[in-house]
Amino acid sequence: MERFEGKVAVITGAGSGFGRAFALKAASLGMKLVLADVDEHALAATIEQIDTPVIGKRTDVSDSVQVDALAQATFDTFGAAHLLFNNAGVGAGGFVWENSANDWQWVFGVNVMGVANGLRAFVPRMIEQGDPAHIVNTASVAGLLAAPAMGVYNASKHAVVALTETLYQDLRLAGASIGVSLLCPAFVPTGIADAERSRPSALANESPYTSSQKLAARQLTRAVESGKLSAQEVADITFDAVREGRFYVITHPNIMPSVQLRLDDIAQLRAPTDPMSLRRKDAS
């Protein structure tokens, strides 16, 4: 997909972080926008910065009915969807056995079912419209690695990686003119460390954080705040990948030795190495 002006971009999680950066980048390229977020106030703040045709719709991506309504609003308003960002994401940390059923339902509902709902609602329409189109699914380096005390998040992002790789193959098999990119960023200053603000009350935890969950939250906050790449720079990298038709979008290439280490562990049938060990070794 080489041309963006006049095309329609649909972005979930558009109220902050990568979603807002994608929206601003798309607007700067003259695209029409359909923006979705579960936080209406954050969504409105993004829309205020857009000077191209735009509609906003409060959407909980874990709810298939709401995502269907988002797709309907998109095609009712603009008649097409050319660039789909399945971007909304949340996280929960701590020892994997200490995560509650609510943690699993919330994180997988947004991170995995949010992507699945987006594909189910939009892809058939995008195939039918016949125009060249592209889909970007936001995963994470957590979909390529398995760092300790991040089990729920890791599992959800691994699922997004597998889902997106399969989507690529399925679209090729179907002969569809739809490109696919898998975005795997590392730590970037976004709102992911404050994701609890968007957790539904029905999935809130009654028990206080465990020691491992408190430690994981502190480590995530420090890592996100220390990120040297901005969300806008990630947006620039991602749009370049869409333009070039690139599948894997790795925004922090210095993570690749850790990815290779994991692949070597698998190939040599050895126990998994702590993916953070290379970073600690480099820092020593």
Mapping DSSP to helix (H, G, I), strand (E, B) and coil, where does residue 277 land?
helix
Alpha carbons 167 and 192: distance in angstroms, whole number = 25
Point out the catalytic residue in the list 153, 168, 209, 248: 153
Alpha carbons 228 and 260: distance in angstroms, whole number = 23
Q: Provide the residue count of the chain.
A: 284
Burial (Cβ within 10 Å: 0-12, 13-18, ≥19) of residue 222: exposed
Instruction: Annotate 197-254 with three-state secondary structure.
Output: HHCCHHHCCCCCCCHHHHHHHHHHHHHHHCCCCCHHHHHHHHHHHHHHCCCEEECCHH
Task: Note if 168 is an active site residue.
Answer: no
Positions annotated as catalytic residues are: 153
